[in-house]
């Protein structure tokens, strides 16, 4: 049986047990970065088995996913999200695993949508999106990001390794756009030799669509995907490839801390982006905190340890006390894994992307 990342020992909050109650924005972390984003993973389960994220041989039938009672309840997620908003978070992204597998997700969206001054978004593999787009929009969701790594049906089925047809995801993107959840961002992870032949088909499909296609460098998240630097197709190579056919012009970042580098087609056919997490690391602008499905906080995508917030929530911490703990965790943060990647120890055990949500 594959061991679950929760078997990693979470950092004890003992040293933070005396964290004083806190009001107002969280102080910057040790590298001067403000806390502005929260990614909430609502489940560690997924209906896909993308080889770069949940390879089937590691996430098989006997894989120990979190039991339902371990998951944070919607009321608990909302309580925590409100504390984060008070600390300065302005953007909340729901993710997973596959977030649309979490039962009654629109109920959670409705609860989170009531938090003032926070933009609420969702990242999904899109397979179930056509079915849920309306309920999500009615609950108050404003935008979605859909992951789509290939346009060719055979390649797509191979990528998700569950024989899901690409037509379902394309229908999901259309449904989301029709509901006003746009512009839809479409994220494609490119793994050299696997789906690099899909770059131009994806470009052709999404030019003039109003959706924003973004190519993501394949990252060494988790410990199960057998990542090798040779498998990474650098963002610059992706851009050069596209530029040779459809000339591109650089755009300014949309906001501080944006991870995607933005480009526009010179002929006015729309916008695309690249997320160069490996070759042009952006840790110095990293304003993100991550909450796992059972209430652990992670200050970096590449962390191996989390802080158990659920324990304190269930022990009756007040919002001000929770704020004190979170502010202390953020203030102590000095993560910059991607900038240090070249020095990283191979084989280090890390949390899985399917657990923490990208
Ligand atoms: N299941 C949803 C989905 O696929 O959109 C949400 C969770 S998924 C972990 C979030 C994002 O992480 C997806 O866009 C996925 O492509 C990306 N991702 C997963 N593993 C990755 C890897 N090794 N390198 C780069 N991106 C990865
Ligand atoms: Fe599932 Fe998303 Fe991971 Fe693919 S990337 S296995 S869809 S969680
Ligand atoms: Fe942020 Fe860690 Fe990614 Fe750097 S490696 S951008 S610190 S999550």
Establish if 6 belongs to a structural domain.
Answer: no
| Of 8 and 268, more confident | 268
Burial classification of residue 347, based on how many CB atoms lie within 10 Å of its CB (0-12 exposed, 13-18 middle, 19 or more buried): exposed
Encoded tokens for 17: 């047990």
Structural domains of the chain, count: 1
C-alpha atoms less than 13 angstroms from C-alpha of 194 in its C-beta half-sphere: 22
Establish if 191 belongs to a structural domain.
Answer: yes
* Rounded Cα distance, 99 and 356, in Å: 11
* Rounded Cα distance, 36 and 292, in Å: 17
Q: What pLDDT does residue 307 have?
A: 95
Residues 119-172 have pLDDT tens digits of: 999 999 999 999 999 999 999 999 999 999 999 999 999 999 999 999 999 999
pLDDT at 257 over 70: no
Encoded tokens for 307: 């802080």
Percent of the chain with pLDDT over 90: 77
Domain extent for 240: 13-356
* pLDDT band at residue 1 under the 50/70/90 scheme: very low
Distance 336 CA to ligand 3 centre (A): 5
- Residue 355, SS3 per DSSP: helix
pLDDT at 10 over 50: no
Establish if 124 belongs to a structural domain.
Answer: yes
- Which numbered ligand comes closest to the C-alpha of 219? 1
Distance 305 CA to ligand 3 centre (A): 14
C-alpha atoms less than 13 angstroms from C-alpha of 316 in its C-beta half-sphere: 0
**What is the pLDDT of the chain when averaged over all its residues?**
90
- Residue 73, SS3 per DSSP: coil
Encoded tokens for 114: 């009531």
Neighbours of 38 (CB within 10 A): 25
Residue nearest to atom 8 of ligand 2 (CA): 97
Neighbours of 186 (CB within 10 A): 25
Q: Tell which residue, 185, 170, 155, has the closest CA to residue 50.
A: 155
| Residue in 301, 339, 341, 348 to alter for ligand 3 test, most ligand atoms within 8 A of Cβ | 301
* pLDDT band at residue 228 under the 50/70/90 scheme: confident
Contacts with 295 (C-beta within 8 Å, 6 or more apart), sequence order: 72, 76, 80, 308, 309, 310, 311, 313
Domain with residue 41: its CATH number is: 3.20.20.70
Distance 355 CA to ligand 2 centre (A): 10
Q: What pLDDT does residue 23 have?
A: 84
In the chain, how many H helices and how many E strands? 11, 12
Establish if 8 belongs to a structural domain.
Answer: no
Establish if 101 belongs to a structural domain.
Answer: yes
Within its chain, how far is the Cα of 275 from the centroid? 12
Whether the link from the prior residue into 213 is cis, omega within 30° of 0, is: no
Distance 75 CA to ligand 2 centre (A): 26
289 lines ligand 3 (CB under 6 A): no
Closest ligand 3 atom, CA of 259? 6
Distance 127 CA to ligand 1 centre (A): 14
34 lines ligand 3 (CB under 6 A): no
Query: What's the predicted TM-score (pTM) here?
Result: 0.92
Q: What pLDDT does residue 16 have?
A: 57
* Rounded Cα distance, 185 and 358, in Å: 15
Establish if 1 belongs to a structural domain.
Answer: no
Within its chain, how far is the Cα of 337 from the centroid? 16
* Rounded Cα distance, 227 and 254, in Å: 31
Establish if 275 belongs to a structural domain.
Answer: yes
Listing from the earlier edge strand, what are the strands of the sheet with 119-124? 248-250, 261-265, 271-275, 212-217, 185-190, 143-147, 119-124, 91-95, 37-41, 288-291, 296-298, 307-308
Distance 320 CA to ligand 2 centre (A): 35
Establish if 147 belongs to a structural domain.
Answer: yes
Percent of the chain with pLDDT over 70: 90
Burial classification of residue 41, based on how many CB atoms lie within 10 Å of its CB (0-12 exposed, 13-18 middle, 19 or more buried): buried
Neighbours of 141 (CB within 10 A): 25
Distance 218 CA to ligand 2 centre (A): 13
Closest ligand 3 atom, CA of 335? 7
Q: What pLDDT does residue 7 have?
A: 35
Confirm if 322 and 16 have CB atoms less than 8 A apart.
no
| Beta bridge mates, 272 | 213, 263
- Which numbered ligand comes closest to the C-alpha of 156? 2
272 lines ligand 3 (CB under 6 A): no
Q: For 186, phi and psi rounded to 5 degrees?
A: -115, 115
Highest mean pLDDT among 56-65, 220-229, 344-353: 56-65
Beta pairing, strands 37-41 & 143-147:
unpaired
């Amino acid at each position: 049986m594959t061991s679950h990342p929760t078997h990693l020992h979470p950092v004890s909050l003992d040293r933070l047990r005396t964290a004083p109650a806190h009001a107002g924005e969280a102080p910057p972390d040790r590298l001067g970065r403000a806390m502005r984003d929260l990614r909430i993973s609502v489940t560690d389960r997924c209906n896909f088995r993308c080889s770069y994220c949940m390879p089937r041989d590691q996430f098989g039938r006997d894989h120990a996913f979190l039991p339902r009672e371990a998951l944070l309840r919607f009321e608990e997620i909302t309580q925590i999200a409100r504390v984060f908003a008070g600390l300065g978070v302005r953007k909340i992204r729901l993710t997973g695993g596959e977030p649309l597998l979490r039962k009654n997700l629109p109920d959670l969206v409705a609860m989170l949508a009531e938090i003032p001054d926070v933009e609420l978004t969702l990242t999904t593999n899109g397979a179930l999106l056509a079915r849920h787009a309306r309920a999500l929009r009615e609950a108050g969701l404003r935008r979605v990001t859909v992951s789509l790594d290939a346009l060719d049906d055979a390649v797509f089925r191979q990528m998700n390794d569950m024989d899901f047809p690409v037509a379902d995801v394309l229908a999901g993107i259309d449904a989301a756009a029709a509901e006003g959840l746009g512009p839809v961002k479409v994220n494609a992870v490119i793994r050299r030799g696997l789906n690099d032949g899909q770059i131009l088909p994806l470009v052709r499909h999404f030019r003039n669509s109003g959706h924003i296609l973004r190519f993501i460098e394949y990252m060494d998240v988790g410990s199960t995907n057998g990542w090798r630097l040779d498998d990474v197709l650098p963002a610059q190579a992706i851009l050069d490839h596209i530029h040779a056919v459809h000339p591109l012009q650089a755009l300014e970042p949309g906001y501080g801390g944006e991870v995607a580098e933005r480009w526009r087609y010179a002929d006015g056919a729309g916008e695309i982006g690249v997320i160069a997490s490996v070759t042009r690391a952006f840790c110095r602008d990293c304003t993100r905190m991550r909450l796992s499905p059972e209430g652990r906080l992670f200050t970096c995508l590449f962390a191996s340890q989390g802080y158990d917030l659920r324990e304190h929530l269930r022990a009756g911490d007040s919002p001000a006390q929770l704020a004190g703990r979170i502010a202390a965790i953020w203030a102590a943060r000095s993560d910059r894994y991607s900038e240090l990647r070249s020095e990283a120890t191979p084989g280090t055990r890390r949390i899985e992307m399917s657990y923490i949500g990208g």
